[in-house]
Structure 1
Amino acid sequence: MSHKILIVDDDPHIREILSFALGKAGMETREAADGEDALAAIARSRPDLVVLDINMPRMDGLEVCRRLRATGDLPVLFLSSRDDEIDRVVGIELGADDYVVKPFSPREVVARVNAILKRAGRTPAVTGSEGQVAHNRLSLDTEAWEARWGGDKVDVTATEFQLLLLLASLPAKVFSRDAIIDRLHGPGFAVTDRTIDSHIRNLRGKFVSMGGTDLIETRAGIGYRIGACVGAAD
């Protein structure tokens, strides 16, 4: 069965280009011209991924992403009309899985959509008992793609789950940002260090609210590794 992709952009030309490129890649596409139409389309027929422009009338992409993250973890790929780092960082902190800056190559969009769907839909090759990876109070279910802290579910995006899984699978290893990018996206994939930092900050914020103050450890000048994961009260 082909993946269903919702393309949200107020520019009909961009929607047409992306619909053609994604359709040629074997995906089924739907279109929406603004944020309000996008939310209605998602409610009618939940897609597998949303390609979402940031700057739109009536309701911008950031607000759409904020509302989506309040109710679930539908994968989101942002389109930004300018190379604005603030837009990208805010988008990632809201829970977007990735972003593409306009003008873009349709091939790049297809590649990034495929990468997100692959992360969201496959069972990662890691060691663990029956699809479980555990590190003290943190547990990851690689079959259901669920993260838990002390048994309580924490809503994370596909990219956030993959990042947590990478760190927790090798708890003694410190990963540089470049190593994290290579493991999550493949060598040569155009993702900035700030994007990884934003994902880390986003994850920390989600777990802090549940007492997970030691989820990820920063090693200055090197990178990140999984923390003790015992919680502030332990």
Structure 2
Amino acid sequence: MPVNAAGARILVVEDEPVINQAVTDRLRGSGYEVVQAWDGPGAVEQFTETAPDLVVLDVMLPGFDGHEVCRRIQAARPVPVLMLTARDDEADILVGLGVGADDYLTKPFRMRELVARVGALLRRVERAAELATRTTTADLGDLRVDSASRRVWVADTEVHLTPTEFDLLACLAASPGVVLTRENLYAEVWGWPGASGTRTVDSHVKALRAKIGAERVRTVHGVGYALETGGAA
């Protein structure tokens, strides 16, 4: 069912008490219901007991790390995840995206930006529910994208994409061959117009290419990306 963004329940997982409480207070002040966890096992337990609409998840946690938390909760029930990382490292970010994270923030971050990204992720859930009622299929060579069922096939083999990867691919597939700027993709897929999300878009494109084939998404340097209209090269 669509999420009511104004009253959504958010699980905040952060082992540093000051940061955990600061994030919690800011989100509660923005109208969200918030539950807290401070380590990996506690995060999974809280997720099971409280069924949050979104998870704000630190990477470095006691017990087991945020990547393992993300892997476990996404296997149980897909949910938007905003990852917090202390390292601005592409490899570390790609690991998070690979286990199902939708977006990330590098510490230190501004609370205003965190709240904005939380709101954008929740709005994406609402938009995905609306799109699921429409029957839209794109056949591009041996790539097939079904927006109604949110399923993707490459050469008759189904490919599993995270929710963000699917939304990114669907956005590109809606205008095959057309170059979309990073800013346009960030506004359309992440729902945050006017913001700079270059690293976020680039990281998700890289993760998407690893699953559907690098040659299918063309880079126009300094501009953005386009989905090739033919089959694999």
Is the shorter-chain TM-score for this pair beyond 0.5, marking a shared fold? yes
| 2:180 counterpart SS class | coil
2:106 corresponds in structure 1 to 101
- The alignment yields a C-alpha RMSD, in angstroms, of 3.0
1:149 corresponds in structure 2 to 153
- The answer to whether the 8 A contact 2:80-2:101 is kept is yes
- The answer to whether the 8 A contact 2:147-2:170 is kept is no
Unaligned runs of at least 5 residues, structure 2: none
- The answer to whether the 8 A contact 2:85-2:106 is kept is yes
- The answer to whether the 8 A contact 2:102-2:164 is kept is yes
Residue 139 (str. 1) matches residue 145 (str. 2): yes
State the TM-score, normalized to the length of structure 1: 0.79
Could you report, residue by residue, the CA deviation over 1:137-164 in whole angstroms, capped at 9, with x for unpaired residues? 413325x6x1232787644333222211
Residues 112/141 of structure 1: CA separation in 2 closer, same or farther (3 Å cut): same
The separation in 2 between residues aligned to 1:192 and 1:168, in whole angstroms, is 20
Identity %: 38
Unaligned runs of at least 5 residues, structure 1: 208-212
State the TM-score, normalized to the length of structure 2: 0.80
Residue 217 (str. 1) matches residue 223 (str. 2): no
Structure 2 counterpart of 1:192, one-letter code: T
Residue 39 (str. 1) matches residue 44 (str. 2): yes
- The answer to whether the 8 A contact 1:147-1:153 is kept is yes
Residues 102/198 of structure 1: CA separation in 2 closer, same or farther (3 Å cut): closer
- The answer to whether the 8 A contact 1:53-1:79 is kept is yes
Structure 2 counterpart of 1:130, one-letter code: R
The separation in 1 between residues aligned to 2:33 and 2:225, in whole angstroms, is 38
The separation in 1 between residues aligned to 2:106 and 2:215, in whole angstroms, is 31
- The answer to whether the 8 A contact 2:56-2:83 is kept is yes
**Deviation of 1:110 (Å):** 0.9
- Counterpart of 2:197 (choices 191, 213, 226) is 191
**Deviation of 1:17 (Å):** 1.5
